[in-house]
Structures are given as C-alpha cells and as structure tokens.
Amino acid sequence: MTGDARRHRHARGAAVVLAMLLAALAAAIAATVLADQQRWSRNVEHRRDQVQAQALAMAGIQWARQILHEDARTTGLDDLREPWAVALPPIPLENGEIRGAIVDAQGRLNLNGLGDGGTSAGIERGRIARLFAQRGGPVAALDAIADWIDTDSRSRPEGIEDAGYLAQPVPYLAANAPLVRVAEIAAIRGVTPQAHAAMAPFVAALPAGTPTNVNTAPPEVLAAVVENLPADGLAALVADRAQKPFTSVANFRGRLPSGATLAGDGALSVRSDLFYVTVEARQGTTVARARALLRRTAAEWPAVVWQIVE
C-alpha cells in the first residue's frame, strides 16, 4: 500500500470517528435540551397550579366574609347551629378541590386579657389559669405572658421583662404589646412547644375586653369559665345548649347545673364579631392554605384583621 493510500485511509477513519463524536455530542445536547424543557415545563405547571391554588384559597376567605355578612343581617345571636358553623366539605374542581371552615374566635379565651388592667382582669386570669391547668398549658408562665403583653417594664412576681430576655443566649426584647396571633407566645419564657400545642385550640389573640361567647365555646372552655362544674354537669350543659342556645349571659347563668358558679358575668357574651377562617385549596399536586381573622359588624362587609396565604 502506497503512502498516499495509507494517508487517505487514515483520514477516512478519522472522519468516521469525528462524525461519531459529533453525533454523540448532538444526541447529548438534544437530551439536555429536552430535559431542560421538561423541567421548565414542570416548573411552569407547578407555578401555574400554585398561583391558581392560592387564588382559590383567597376566594375562600371572601366566601367566609359573605357567609358572616349574611348571618349578621338575620340574627342577634351566634351559636353552633348557624350556617357559618358548618364546615365547607371538600368541593371537587377541575384538577383540584377546595375546603374551608369558620370558627368563632370568641368561643375561646382571650390571652390578651392577661395584660388588661380592667375590672374583669382577675376573672379572666382565673379562667385562663383553670384552662391551662386542665389542658396542660403553661400555668407557671401566666405572669410571663402578662408581662409580654402589658406596656410597662415592671416584672410581675413570676414574670419577665426586657432585662431577662436580653440575658438569653440570643438576646431579644419583650413585645410589650397585645398579641396579634397566638403563635407569638412561643417566644415567651416558660411556654414549651408541648404546652403551646395543648392550649392553642382553646385560646385566641383578640383585643383586650373581647368577651367569650358561651354559645360557641367548646366544652374545654366552658369548664374553665364555670367553677365547680363536674364532668357530668358539663356534658348536660353542652347537651342543653345544643337544643336551645343561650339567649343572654343571665340565661346562661340561670341554666347552670346545681352547684356550678360563675365568678362574674364579665367578658362573656352570646354573640360574636371575630372569626377565624381556614381554607385549603388544591390544584394538581400543589396545595395552598389561607388563614384569616375577620371582624364583623352589623352593617358593613366583614373586615380582614390579618390574613396569611401559604
């Protein structure tokens, strides 16, 4: 074989190898582009579903406002037999569903009452203390919670103010302001996660002086409001209320079981203006949740005190 023939054969072999390398490179690039396109498409779909789910969740808040507005126009009492108290079951939608619930925030005990200096402050503190004791709440942290809420810098006997928090490994200051959400108490000394979880379903963070609605309060709250109330008496009171809601605080007092007492009528009511709303919406595999506190008035559309969309 001549030299020219060998060079020609070698060049042809190199061309074949180069062609194979180029083909492999093109295939790799195509595969990468396809994977990127698929990833981009999934991201777009996920983002689209996320936006739609959040929009649905926020629409659920508007549904709650409508329900509460209509209720305010038709009755002067609030009890658990009313339409707002019926949870919205999962409603199927195209590629998803939505569900929601309205809960009377005034069916709970108001933690901001601990920082109030009004005439009923002692009564409210006694009720919260009983609730904590019965449900495993942070009884020893009552003064610390009160110090967190009140506006002065004087520590109560078992409380803590700025100086105590500044001495922590990660220093910070007491809020010295009313709670906006119950979750804020996690920052207060003496409130453990376990104690917080135990009491969270039965307490609220509302303006000081907001009364507790005895028509919507769960049995655990009624047990804290009423003194000397045995378990069978509590069950009878709840069953009686289910048949005929209380028409006034005086009516509530008059229907208490024998031997049960109220320390006072202060901070009690049979109607409510503040409600918690929770809505969960799903689009595809994406879930959005909206939570809000609504304030209702008789003549106006309920106002959103705060709202969180996740």
Stretch among 88-92, 109-113, 173-177, 251-255 having the lowest mean pLDDT: 88-92
Q: For 278-300, what is the mean pLDDT? A: 90
Q: For 51-66, what is the mean pLDDT? A: 90
Is the model's pLDDT at 110 over the cut of 80?
yes
Question: pLDDT per residue over 248-269, tens digit each?
Answer: 999 999 999 999 999 888 889 9
Question: pLDDT per residue over 59-83, tens digit each?
Answer: 899 999 999 999 988 888 999 999 9
Look up the CATH architecture of domain 52-106+273-309.
Answer: 2-Layer Sandwich (3.30)
Q: What is the pLDDT of residue 139?
A: 92
The domain 108-269 is placed in CATH, from the list 1.10.40.60, 3.30.530.20, 1.10.275.10, 1.25.40.340, at 1.10.40.60
**What DSSP string runs through the chain?**
--HHHHHHHHHHHHHHHHHHHHHHHHHHHHHHHHHHHHHHHHHHHHHHHHHHHHHHHHHHHHHHHHHHHHHHHH-S---TTSGGGS-EEEEEETTEEEEEEEEEGGGSEEGGGGG--STTHHHHHHHHHHHHHHHT--GGGHHHHHHHHSSS-PPPTT---HHHHHTSSS------S--SSGGGGGGSTT--HHHHHHHGGGEE---TTPPEETTT--HHHHHHHSBS--HHHHHHHHHHHHHS--SSHHHHHHTSPTT-B-S-STTEES--SEEEEEEEEEETTEEEEEEEEEE--SSSPPEEEEEEE-
Q: What is the pLDDT of residue 121?
A: 75
Q: What is the pLDDT of residue 296?
A: 92
Q: What is the pLDDT of residue 9?
A: 60
Highest mean pLDDT among 166-175, 235-244, 294-303: 235-244
